[in-house]
Structure 1
Amino acid sequence: MKFNNPVIKGFYPDPSVCKVEDTYYLICSSFQFFPGVPIFESKDLINWEQIGHCLTRTTQVQLEKVNSSGGVFAPTLRHHNGRFYMTTTNDTTRQNFYVWTDDIYGEWSEPIYVDQGGIDPDLFFENGKTYFMSNGQDDYGVSGIVQCEIEIDSGQKLSPSRTIWQGSGGRYLESPHMYKINGLYYLLAAEGGTEYGHMETYARSSSVSGPFEAYPHNPVLTNRNLGGYELQGVGHGDLVQDNKGNWWLFHLGFRQTGQYMTYHHLGREVFLTPVTFGEDGWFTAGHNGTTLLSFDTDRIPDTVVQNEKKIFTFDNTDWNLDWCYLRHPHYENYLLESGRLKLRGSEVTLDEPGSPTFIGIRQKDFNAVISCEVSVLDGEAGITIYMDENHHYDLAVRTRETGYQVIERLNIGDIKSVEHTLDLTSRNHAVLLIKASATQFSFFVQLEDKEIPLGTAQTRYLSSEVAGGFTGVVIGLYAAGGCTGHDAAFTNFRCEYL
């Protein structure tokens, strides 16, 4: 059958995967958004359904006032002796920790911290021992992939942290994952930075602690030389074996906005690439070491159909799964009802690294039509196309002394400008409409059956290349100002991908 990449669209970076019996589970990083570390499951590798989050309580992770692209970095998911473990880094507090659960559909434990630095931690279990790996410096000042043995119940180190591999020469060696395959230990890593030079490399050894021999043809997977191809930034992957013995690599990548337009704003997404082991024990990946936007494969039966959801509404999404908050939310400002949302604004705005009244859903494709009826009694409320506190586009209804008006506001770095307004006089509500393409957002007000254009804004100014950071665009519904109750109401939300 033929499947299309990405298999999980939108801002879901740094995938890690494991298989338990006939079910695959996958998690991604979440940075400053909450709940943290979304969890997906699949039976066929290409159709994924979100089932929860690993970090759902404020006691599990500190996100108060963390900078955008701070907070929860790349996680690893592993299953051992009936228990799931998720290990990650809070990059803001510089702490590596893990949580565990015996029920992946339920709550996870409080964090257990490990006294080893770096980021992108990994757990490897063998013969009653637990090995903890991350990138960084070891106890002797040597940089690379660092390993120690820990006591799994407490996180206590049982051995010094020691560098076991220093990569193939690329910058930003990260994302270590260890596997034992056919008696050999394989250490997978990412190099080159999570940008256009990103790549997957690996090495192998007869011992879990090395020395490791690098794959002679590293990188095993990269799109760095595919200039003009939509799919770029391939790397940071995790291997999994299916029930038929085939190996696959789940990894991140991003889609640039045009053939020669090196901007991306949807974030880093989840891609699937086939892996093949040779008789010599080395493996190759993808099409001549590259990842494609679609693969024809006989590894997945033709009876499997890749489904794609095109329309997202209040009625067909789950507030606890599909939607997210900025940092730890003040729940008293939210009324999440069936088919309706009510918000109470606060003095915290979208322009600061706090927790404004905001609930968002990730943008999943370039071409979309986003609409919502918004009413306001006091303050301001609307739709924001949000990358971070310094880069977002707002379409909102706000109160004025003379009545109400709709505004189009552009926030690009230090420039924050209300570009267009439309007075509503006595009307305090309007249908707000945003049409998205790969290169542009267009903003409208829909009054009765008439669409009134308010302006446009380029997607590039919300891209990672301009804004920086590691996240992607989130379509947010927000309220600001006002303090007399849940002053803003949102109905008939619809995001349709074309």
Structure 2
Amino acid sequence: MKVQNPVVRGFYPDPSICSANGKYYLACSSFEYFPGVPLFESDDLLNWKPIGHCLTRKSQVNLYQVPGSGGVFAPTIRFHNGRFYMVTNNNTYQKNFYVYTDDIYSEWSDPVFVDQGGIDPSLYFEGDKVYFISNGTDESDGRGCIFQCEIDITTGKRLTESRPIWKGSGGRYIESPHMYHFGDWYYLMVAEGGTEYGHMVTYARSKDPYGPFEAYAQNPVLTNRNLGGNENHIQGIGHGDLIETPYGENFMVCLGFRIQSDWMPFHHLGREVFLVPVTWDKNGWFTAGVDGTVQTVMDLPLKASEQKINGRYDVSFETIKNEPQRFCHLREYHPECYEFTENSVTLFGNRFTLNDTESPTFLGVRQSEFDTELTVSLTGNSPEAGITFYLSEEHHYDLAVLCKEKKRTLILRLRIGDAVMTAKEIELPEDAQIILKVVSDAAQYHFYGIINEEEILLGSARTKYLSSEVAGGFTGVVMGMYAVNPNEDQKQKAQFTNLYWKQGTDR
């Protein structure tokens, strides 16, 4: 059947996949956002629904003052002997750990730490042995390398020394290791090239889990690096994980990003989840994708009846009630700052702003399509409240109402690195009814205020300034409702009602 990529849209990078009880489960990176490590479930590998997060409480993860693109990334999810395991890294604090649960719809354990460095950890189970795998640097020659040890899965304690097992096929930044056993061979699959335009999936095999490993002669097995930025709207392909269906078919999930071009190619929706077929030859080597590439539309041997485009969901307060898993906060969650009703959310701001590496009052959802239209009504007396299209503390666009000494002002404020500009400022009539509106396409965001039913364009801003190519980092744009109150002793509220965000106009 014809399949449209990406299969999970918006900022959900570093996918890892497992199967259990007739279903597939996907875990993705969350970085500085809380809850951590979003989880998805699917019956058919195409249609994914959010079911929760692995890291839902402070005892599991410390995100205090984590900078943009810091925190939790590159999880691996595995199912073994009736139990789910998710292993990941809090890069800000340089610690690898795993959590586990017997019920994926319930809470996960507190973290179990493993004394092996590097990032992108993975687990491989075989018999009574558990192998812990991550990247690192071989001190003998300074090259990037994959390290492996055996651990006690109950305590996380190393049972063997960490040993280097493969240095890759020659690309920089070897990472994202996963071990598999098919037939007589152990397969070690990694990412190389860095999670940018040179990203790729490579692999090697051995008769022993410690090697020596023989590289696949046609590496990389999957990459879009040679297609050219304007020839293909998918780039950055890498960080793959394999899955086998009950019918014996093999597939790979991997990350990639959809690019636009404004003289130079860029992406602002973040790295997303793509699906490609895997084919084995008679000699026990596999290929992936279409001639080793990922296409927007691919013909995959799947049993699904139809594909519902994951990103094209409308966001409303009904969504908050029915799918709270789609929403996130910056760093730490302070429940006293949020009140939810059937048709509204009330935010109580704290002293932290969107420019801080702290935890402002912020309720966000990932932007998953280029073409969107958002409206929301705003009332209350919070000193500052509004909506933001947020990439990091140094790159965000804010449409907000400021309240000071009974005077209300509607502003459009743009932060691009060290440059902060109030692009437009409108003094509001007393008791004016305010609706905030944003319309986006691939190139621009357009910001409006609807004041007593009169629509006013405050200005426009380019999407590329919220891209990784301009701002750096590894995340994507998140739309957030937020509030700020420098004087926390005086509890002042911002009430948002009539939220509607249509994502994807071409459906």
TM-score scaled to structure 1, two decimals? 0.97
Aligned to 1:437: 441
Cα drift, residue 107 of structure 1: 0.4
Q: Is the 8 A contact 2:267 2:464 kept in 1?
A: yes
Unpaired runs of at least 5, structure 1: none
| 2:271 aligned to which of 268, 273, 283 | 268
Aligned to 1:73: 73
Aligned to 2:221: 220
What is the rounded CA distance, in whole Å, between the counterparts of 2:180 and 2:342 in structure 1?
Answer: 45
Aligned to 1:488: 494
The letter for the 2-side match of 1:29 is: S
What is the rounded CA distance, in whole Å, between the counterparts of 2:131 and 2:458 in structure 1?
Answer: 57
Give 3-state SS (helix, strand or coil) of 1:209's partner.
coil
| 1:384 aligned to which of 367, 382, 388 | 388
What is the rounded CA distance, in whole Å, between the counterparts of 1:376 and 1:160 in structure 2?
Answer: 59
The letter for the 1-side match of 2:450 is: Q
Moved more, 259-268 or 96-105: 259-268
Change over 3 Å in CA distance of 1:161–1:428 after alignment to 2: farther
**What are the superposed Cα offsets for residues 279-323 of structure 1, whole Å, 9 maximum, x if unpaired?**
1110001111000011123x1136234354431111134463111
Q: 1:192-203 counterparts in 2 under 5 A?
A: 192-203=193-204
Q: 1:6-25 counterparts in 2 under 5 A?
A: 6-25=6-25
Aligned to 2:425: 421
Give 3-state SS (helix, strand or coil) of 2:218's partner.
coil
Q: Is the 8 A contact 2:434 2:452 kept in 1?
A: no
What is the rounded CA distance, in whole Å, between the counterparts of 1:429 and 1:296 in structure 2?
Answer: 50
Change over 3 Å in CA distance of 1:7–1:316 after alignment to 2: same
Give 3-state SS (helix, strand or coil) of 1:324's partner.
strand
Q: 1:207-286 counterparts in 2 under 5 A?
A: 207-227=208-228, 228=230, 229-258=232-261, 261-286=264-289
Moved more, 253-262 or 358-367: 253-262
Give 3-state SS (helix, strand or coil) of 2:410's partner.
strand
What is the rounded CA distance, in whole Å, between the counterparts of 2:281 and 2:31 in structure 1?
Answer: 38
What is the rounded CA distance, in whole Å, between the counterparts of 1:244 and 1:31 in structure 2?
Answer: 35
What is the rounded CA distance, in whole Å, between the counterparts of 1:252 and 1:69 in structure 2?
Answer: 16
**What are the superposed Cα offsets for residues 234-284 of structure 1, whole Å, 9 maximum, x if unpaired?**
000100011111100000000112386411110000000111011111000
Change over 3 Å in CA distance of 1:81–1:138 after alignment to 2: farther
Aligned to 1:346: 350
What is the rounded CA distance, in whole Å, between the counterparts of 1:152 and 1:382 in structure 2?
Answer: 46
| 2:450 aligned to which of 438, 442, 446 | 446
Moved more, 366-375 or 425-434: 425-434
**What are the superposed Cα offsets for residues 155-192 of structure 1, whole Å, 9 maximum, x if unpaired?**
00010000100000000000000000112111010000
The letter for the 2-side match of 1:279 is: K
Q: 1:105-184 counterparts in 2 under 5 A?
A: 105-137=105-137, 143-184=144-185
What is the rounded CA distance, in whole Å, between the counterparts of 1:443 and 1:236 in structure 2?
Answer: 36
**What are the superposed Cα offsets for residues 141-168 of structure 1, whole Å, 9 maximum, x if unpaired?**
8740000000000000010000100000
Aligned to 1:304: 306
Aligned to 2:46: 46
Moved more, 335-344 or 380-389: 335-344
Give 3-state SS (helix, strand or coil) of 1:92's partner.
helix
Cα drift, residue 450 of structure 1: 3.0
Cα drift, residue 138 of structure 1: 5.9
Give 3-state SS (helix, strand or coil) of 2:469's partner.
helix
Give 3-state SS (helix, strand or coil) of 2:428's partner.
strand
The letter for the 2-side match of 1:303 is: S
Give 3-state SS (helix, strand or coil) of 2:204's partner.
strand
**What are the superposed Cα offsets for residues 370-418 of structure 1, whole Å, 9 maximum, x if unpaired?**
1111113130100000000010000011113362121000001111111
Cα drift, residue 423 of structure 1: 1.5
What is the rounded CA distance, in whole Å, between the counterparts of 1:88 and 1:439 in structure 2?
Answer: 34
The letter for the 2-side match of 1:224 is: R
What is the rounded CA distance, in whole Å, between the counterparts of 2:305 and 2:394 in structure 1?
Answer: 46
**What are the superposed Cα offsets for residues 201-237 of structure 1, whole Å, 9 maximum, x if unpaired?**
0000111111110000000000001111110000001
What is the rounded CA distance, in whole Å, between the counterparts of 2:134 and 2:367 in structure 1?
Answer: 31
- Percentage of identical aligned residues: 52
Q: Is the 8 A contact 1:34 1:324 kept in 2?
A: yes
The letter for the 2-side match of 1:357 is: T
Q: Is the 8 A contact 1:404 1:428 kept in 2?
A: no
What is the rounded CA distance, in whole Å, between the counterparts of 2:308 and 2:346 in structure 1?
Answer: 35
| 1:337 aligned to which of 329, 334, 341 | 341
What is the rounded CA distance, in whole Å, between the counterparts of 1:141 and 1:41 in structure 2?
Answer: 42
Q: Is the 8 A contact 2:382 2:492 kept in 1?
A: no
What is the rounded CA distance, in whole Å, between the counterparts of 2:237 and 2:343 in structure 1?
Answer: 38
Q: Is the 8 A contact 1:55 1:108 kept in 2?
A: yes
The letter for the 1-side match of 2:13 is: P
TM-score scaled to structure 2, two decimals? 0.95
What is the rounded CA distance, in whole Å, between the counterparts of 2:432 and 2:278 in structure 1?
Answer: 57
Cα drift, residue 21 of structure 1: 3.2
Unpaired runs of at least 5, structure 2: none
The question of 1:470 aligning with 2:474 is answered yes
Q: Is the 8 A contact 2:432 2:451 kept in 1?
A: no
The letter for the 2-side match of 1:144 is: C
Cα drift, residue 428 of structure 1: 5.5
Moved more, 101-110 or 258-267: 258-267
Moved more, 444-453 or 277-286: 444-453
The letter for the 1-side match of 2:494 is: A
**What are the superposed Cα offsets for residues 321-345 of structure 1, whole Å, 9 maximum, x if unpaired?**
1110000122211112222110111
What is the rounded CA distance, in whole Å, between the counterparts of 1:258 and 1:119 in structure 2?
Answer: 32
What is the rounded CA distance, in whole Å, between the counterparts of 1:449 and 1:334 in structure 2?
Answer: 28
What is the rounded CA distance, in whole Å, between the counterparts of 1:302 and 1:471 in structure 2?
Answer: 30
Q: CA RMSD in A?
A: 1.5
What is the rounded CA distance, in whole Å, between the counterparts of 2:361 and 2:2 in structure 1?
Answer: 42
What is the rounded CA distance, in whole Å, between the counterparts of 1:156 and 1:290 in structure 2?
Answer: 40
**What are the superposed Cα offsets for residues 82-139 of structure 1, whole Å, 9 maximum, x if unpaired?**
0000000010110000000000000000100000000000000112000000000368
